[in-house]
């Protein structure tokens, strides 16, 4: 494919773009934040329209469906400049219903839309080992795959349009549940006087093992929150999208109250724009200022 464009060069988009550039791709990038394209190593574009006009492959990494719709369907957006054979890959976390509407609109111009949910976080983006769950035409995915492999180690075709974003919402919900629940357990363990490192060894050898116990908390107990990943605000947004998706499917969501309460608490206690791993500090705050690690001297716990 001729030319790669990227719209949305924030926390994830910027990291992915840098991986593309390091792999030898020339990327024309746009983000409303001044200097974002340059920081990611991309050639800066003047606007969305320039990215859409100049590239056969356009990647999006945006906060939510509202932002995606504005960029694609808005005046002088991607749709206005779409053409036969062009492929748009949406790496955002978005509502499947919105995704299907956008795919249909682009198909009207004989362009293709792939919804590519991401798993692996900021660290995975930096290392180029993300997992992609992709909805849309398999032939379009095959065309885009050589570019996607610059930042993704595993790429799964999930089915027709919307299935990639559906899989992403299901995965993110389990991530939210395990992170919130493990945070609560770890604060309780600290209060109970347990050695947290030993407890993690127990959990990771037992039925309580999950991604948070294996990959997050071994760092958090040392004071490393793995900054740069999904914030509490975005985690809450993703859980709400999950609940809305299940409502549309006619499936009861019986377990959403826990993560909504936990990440809502984190947002209201000042951790809204910090990595969602800080939910453990929010729970610790309302438990008398508990931290899983020793604070440096002079640190004041809020």
pLDDT digits (tens, 9 = 90+) for 89-100: 999 999 999 999
Check whether residue 108 and residue 239 sit in a common domain: no
Check whether residue 140 and residue 205 sit in a common domain: no
299, pLDDT greater than 90: no
Q: Is 300 a member of any domain?
A: no
- The b-or-e profile of 27-51 (16+ CB within 10 A means b, else e) is bbbbbeeeebbeebbbebbeebbbb
State whether the Cα torsion 197-198-204-209 is positive or negative: negative
Check whether residue 152 and residue 186 sit in a common domain: no
Residue 56, classed as helix, strand or coil, is coil
pLDDT of residue 229: 82
pLDDT digits (tens, 9 = 90+) for 239-272: 999 999 999 999 999 999 999 999 999 999 999 9
The CATH number given to whatever domain includes residue 272 is 1.10.1040.10
Closest CA to 214 of 227, 222, 202: 202
Rounded to 5 degrees, φ, ψ at 175 are -60, -45
231, pLDDT greater than 60: yes
Question: Angle CA(167)–CA(173)–CA(175) in degrees, nearest 5?
Answer: 105
| Contact between residue 190 and residue 260 where contact means Cβ atoms under 8 Å apart | no
Q: Is 237 a catalytic residue?
A: no
pLDDT of residue 97: 96
Check whether residue 97 and residue 226 sit in a common domain: no
pLDDT digits (tens, 9 = 90+) for 32-65: 999 999 999 999 999 999 999 999 999 999 999 9
Check whether residue 220 and residue 130 sit in a common domain: no
Check whether residue 216 and residue 71 sit in a common domain: no
> Residues 154, 168, 191, 237: which is the catalytic one?
168
For 97-117, what is the mean pLDDT?
Answer: 98
The CATH number given to whatever domain includes residue 95 is 3.40.50.720
Q: Is 147 a member of any domain?
A: yes
Check whether residue 211 and residue 241 sit in a common domain: yes
Token pair, residue 205, equals: 């050898």
295, pLDDT greater than 80: no
pLDDT of residue 228: 83
- Report d(CA 127, CA 61) in Å as an integer: 18
pLDDT digits (tens, 9 = 90+) for 57-83: 999 999 999 999 999 999 999 999 999
Q: How confident is the model at residue 2 (pLDDT cuts 50, 70, 90)?
A: confident
- Report d(CA 110, CA 83) in Å as an integer: 6
Q: Give the orientation angle of helix 257-266 with respect to helix 232-249, to 10 degrees.
A: 160
pLDDT of residue 14: 97
Check whether residue 80 and residue 120 sit in a common domain: yes
Question: Angle CA(19)–CA(232)–CA(62) in degrees, nearest 5?
Answer: 45
pLDDT digits (tens, 9 = 90+) for 164-207: 999 999 999 999 999 999 999 999 999 999 999 999 999 999 99
For 218-235, what is the mean pLDDT?
Answer: 94
Q: How far apart are the first and last CA of the chain?
A: 52
297, pLDDT greater than 50: no
pLDDT of residue 157: 98
Check whether residue 20 and residue 151 sit in a common domain: yes
Q: Which of 160, 189, 207 is the last residue of a domain?
A: 160
Check whether residue 175 and residue 222 sit in a common domain: yes
300, pLDDT greater than 50: no
Check whether residue 139 and residue 41 sit in a common domain: yes
Tell me what percent of the residues of the chain surpass a pLDDT of 90.
Answer: 93
The number of folded domains in the chain is 2
- Report d(CA 3, CA 26) in Å as an integer: 7
301, pLDDT greater than 70: no
Q: Is 249 a member of any domain?
A: yes
pLDDT of residue 192: 98
- Report d(CA 81, CA 164) in Å as an integer: 24
| Contact between residue 31 and residue 25 where contact means Cβ atoms under 8 Å apart | no
Range of the domain at 77: 4-160
84, pLDDT greater than 70: yes
- Report d(CA 37, CA 274) in Å as an integer: 23
CA distances from 242 to 153, 169, 266 (A): 25, 5, 19
pLDDT digits (tens, 9 = 90+) for 118-137: 999 888 999 999 999 999 99
In terms of residues, how long is the chain? 302
Token pair, residue 261, equals: 């309460």
pLDDT of residue 25: 96
| Contact between residue 147 and residue 26 where contact means Cβ atoms under 8 Å apart | no
pTM of the model: 0.92
**Burial (Cβ within 10 Å: 0-12, 13-18, ≥19) of residue 159:** middle
**Burial (Cβ within 10 Å: 0-12, 13-18, ≥19) of residue 214:** middle
């Amino acid at each position: 494919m001729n030319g790669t464009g990227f719209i949305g060069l924030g926390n994830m988009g910027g990291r992915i773009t840098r991986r593309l550039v390091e792999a030898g791709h020339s990327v024309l990038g746009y983000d409303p934040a001044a200097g974002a394209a340059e920081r990611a190593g991309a050639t800066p574009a003047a606007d969305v329209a320039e990215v859409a006009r100049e590239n056969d492959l356009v990647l999006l990494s945006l906060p939510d469906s509202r932002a995606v719709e504005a960029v694609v369907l808005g005046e002088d957006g991607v749709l206005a400049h779409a053409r036969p054979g062009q492929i748009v890959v949406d790496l955002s976390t978005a509502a499947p219903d919105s995704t299907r509407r956008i795919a249909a609109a682009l198909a009207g111009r004989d362009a293709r839309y792939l919804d590519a949910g991401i798993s692996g976080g900021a660290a995975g983006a930096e290392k180029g080992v993300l997992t992609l769950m992709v909805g849309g035409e398999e032939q379009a995915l095959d065309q885009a795959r050589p570019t996607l492999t610059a930042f993704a180690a595993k790429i799964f075709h999930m089915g027709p349009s919307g299935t990639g974003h559906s899989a992403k919402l299901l995965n993110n919900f389990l991530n939210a549940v395990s992170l919130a629940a493990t945070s609560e357990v770890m604060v309780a363990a600290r209060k109970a006087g347990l050695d947290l490192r030993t407890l993690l060894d127990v959990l990771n050898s037992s039925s309580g093992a999950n991604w948070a116990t294996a990959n997050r908390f071994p760092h958090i107990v040392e004071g490393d929150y793995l900054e740069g990943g999904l914030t509490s605000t975005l985690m809450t947004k993703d859980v709400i999208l999950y609940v809305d998706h299940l409502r549309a499917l006619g499936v009861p969501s019986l377990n959403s109250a826990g993560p909504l309460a936990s990440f809502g608490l984190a947002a209201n206690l000042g951790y809204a724009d910090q990595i969602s791993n800080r939910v453990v500090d929010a729970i610790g705050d309302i438990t008398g200022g508990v931290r899983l690690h020793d604070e440096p001297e002079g640190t004041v716990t809020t």
